[in-house]
Structure 1
Amino acid sequence: MNEDRVKWNIAPFSVELRCTPKSVNLVFDAMSEAEVPPNYLLVTSSRHLRLPGARELKVTRINDGIFMAVGEGSKFLFKVTNTGVEDVNYEKSSVLSVLEDFGGTALMGELVEAASRKLNMPKEQVREEIAFLIRIGKLRARRNLIEIVKQSFY
């Protein structure tokens, strides 16, 4: 439903969508509950919809093609590529492992220097990864101190 609101770039030919009474529906960009049939599988909306029994996740774009979904006591990352949707796991990030060597906390300059040397990465690339890890909630920055965030619902 609302397929006119989605740009379909999945095939070099047009895709004809057909619904029957037994169809399970994908509803894109629903503006109200009235646009959602009782037999839906997935509903996307920029508005808060009250759908009985539905799981609600808030999806935020973190980076190019990388998104974070949060809701119902869970938080996970995924990326959208040309081949589909893939899980993203930054638990074993190389910069995180260097920070763990410091005991989970280090000054920004010390972490950048140590990670750059140990991982053979340019310092700017290390800073970018630290900024990314802060955005996704794996690290926390307090003044010049970087620390690993321990979250209970991962």
Structure 2
Amino acid sequence: MFLEELLTGRHLLVSYYYSVNVAIISSIARELSRRGFSVCIVNLEKMRFWERVEVKCEPGARVLVFDAESESEVPQDYLLVTSTMNLNLEGVKRYKIKKVQGNIYRAEGEATYYFKVNQGRVEDYELSQGDLLVDILRELGGEATLKDLVNIYSHRSGKGREKVREELGLLARLGKIEIRGGKVRLLNDYGWSEG
């Protein structure tokens, strides 16, 4: 789903993760080549590929820009730009890449996508409901009010508040979170607060 999104229209990915940026550009280039398109990669010399892709900067090629440092590095006809900066590009969908844990990342923008990088390839990642709750708690600094967490999780998951409370109860019984005095606190593997 994430790669499919990146193949439709112009996108800017703001990311500080070099290997993730390489994997995304490589995965998009491979998919475009598989679909019969020529691919041109701007700043190719900055990339170290896990797997080579054929690059042809010719008229009609799909243009991918790796690690753009300014707007001047981005041609008019680009499809995808990765950068550590939030460049001022018009008519672009912006996604900020954040690390969730291990090799799992979250792309936040008009929608939220979870993906993992596996041997230089980007693969969609489906968070289990418990993982989503833990991820939200980490976003909130490891602690939140019960009301806020229920509202945020209900909105993101599309589940009713009562179902969310049941899942919170299960996570508390499993020792992943602590619920006390209207507050929910994320616990580490040893039962201590992460915050």
TM-score if structure 2 supplies the norm length? 0.48
Q: Which residue of 2 aligns with 1:48?
A: 86
Kindly indicate whether the alpha-carbon contact (under 8 Å) linking 2:50 and 2:120 is maintained by their aligned counterparts in 1: no
Deviation string, structure 1 residues 33-55 (Cα, Å, up to 9, x no partner): 11111111110001111112110
**Runs ≥4 residues deviating over 3 A:** 91-96, 104-108, 140-147
The residue number in structure 1 matching 2:122 is 85
Structure having the larger proportion of residues in helix = 2
Supply the distance in 2 between the matched residues of 1:103 and 1:82 (Cα, whole angstroms): 37
- Please, what TM-score do these two structures have when normalized by structure 1? 0.59
Instruction: Provide structure 1 residue ranges, at least 5 long, that are not aligned to the other structure.
Output: 116-125, 131-139, 148-154
The answer as to 2:55 corresponding to 1:17 is yes
Deviations 1:33-83 (A, max 9, x none): 1111111111000111111211000001222211111112x2221111127
Output one character per residue of 1:128-152: Cα deviation in whole Å (capped at 9) or x when no partner. xx6xxxxxxxxx97779538xxxxx
- The 3-state SS of whatever aligns with 2:67 is coil
- Taking only aligned residues, the RMSD between alpha carbons, in angstroms, comes to 3.4
Q: Secondary structure at the match of 1:56?
A: strand
Q: Which runs of 5+ in 2 are unaligned?
A: 1-41, 134-162, 186-195
The aligned residue for residue 48 of structure 2 is 7
For 2:68, give the aligned amino acid. A
Rounded Cα–Cα distance in structure 2 between residues aligned with 1:95 and 1:31: 33
Higher relative contact order (CA 8 A, sep 6+): 2
Aligned residue pairs, count: 115
